[in-house]
Structure 1
Amino acid sequence: MRLEEAKRLLLTTSLTVADISHQVGYNSVGTFSSRFRSSVGVSPIAYRQTRGATTEMPAIGRASAVPRPMVKGNIAGPDATPVGMVFIGLFPTPMLQGSPVRCAVLDRPGPYTLHDVPPGTWHVLAHAVPPGAEESLSNRPYLGTHGPITIRPGITARLADLKLRRMHVFDPPVLTALLDVRSAALARLRTAQQLPEAV
């Protein structure tokens, strides 16, 4: 929750990183910066300077030469509510923080596949922001969860269906810089489709 508030302050105020770290309860700017980077994916200064516009989200681990299992399923949107792009990833805990082991960005709810999943126990987490509200920190995003699921040698695929719902006030905060992924995905779509930038 402290890091979630720090994200908000970095984007909405001109406070220094040191002031923000103290305001959210850290005595050491170094500790704050280290925890921010590990949870959000970028440093506090980079997060502010780019307003979350990083080019890609690194996934933990490397692709294997030996085919490994996949996790696939369907993401259902809330009934009669436009959702827009959906981020989905595999995380070691039921909290959207740090880098996922595998991830994808979908242009809308629907089927997904995460390839080359390493052995382990993972949580499948999906996140979406209502269209037109991507840069608003006050709009409650959508969340979908499944798991934990365990991947063992010999498994070829695991099914994990999710249904998106509005985040509740008691849900853990979203710390991973997901808006960055959405911006990068939109940029890739514009390039691939040669669409003009929105005015």
Structure 2
Amino acid sequence: MRAATGLWRWRHNPLRRTTDLVEAWVALTAALLLCLAVPLAGWAVGTSANESLQRSVRAQHEERVPTVARVVRSAETGEAGATGQRPADTAGERRLRPAVVAAWTAPDGTRRTGTVTTTREQADPGDHFPLWTDRTGRAVTPPMHPETARAHALIAGLTVALLAGFLVESARRVAVHRLLRRRYDRLDRAWAEVGPDWGRTGAGS
């Protein structure tokens, strides 16, 4: 980061131009934003995201109920097409999370049967595995873990901080570029006025 490279222009000397002082202010402002505002923005977004995600986690734990399901049979039989083939991504996913027909007990005590996926590499009839359901007994995904929610919030805060820092540094570079262009334009105008008489006797050079 080179946001503070123009701070030396604060020094008082007869060669200091107005654009030098402006560049120093730009560098100081960018340094303060990078040191204070950017971390504060990341912290605020991360904190807000964490609070929102934690509320969602608590709501999911209230709405979803853990139970134990029993494998009835594999769900692969009859699910393939006429050729018995599936897309590669679907086949790969089912190797990691095999689909089975399972039976479980709903929160109201009724018996339910349906096709669900398991986290087991191999599920044979009679095997038991953990399952989450909603209050009506329908199989749902597990609720988010609080640590997972915090990790997502941390990523969100870091992302915002990085984007804010990038915007600050980009704005500084644009401002410095415009100041340089202004200096060159002034030098070109000054040379256009003095250049034709440069080195002539009596021209004051």
- Per the normalisation by structure 2, the TM-score is 0.20
Q: Of Structure 1 and Structure 2, which has the larger fraction of its residues in strand? A: 1
**Higher RCO (Cα < 8 Å, 6 or more apart):** 2
- Per the normalisation by structure 1, the TM-score is 0.21
Q: Of Structure 1 and Structure 2, which has the larger fraction of its residues in helix? A: 2
Q: Compare CA radii of gyration and give the structure with the larger one.
A: 2
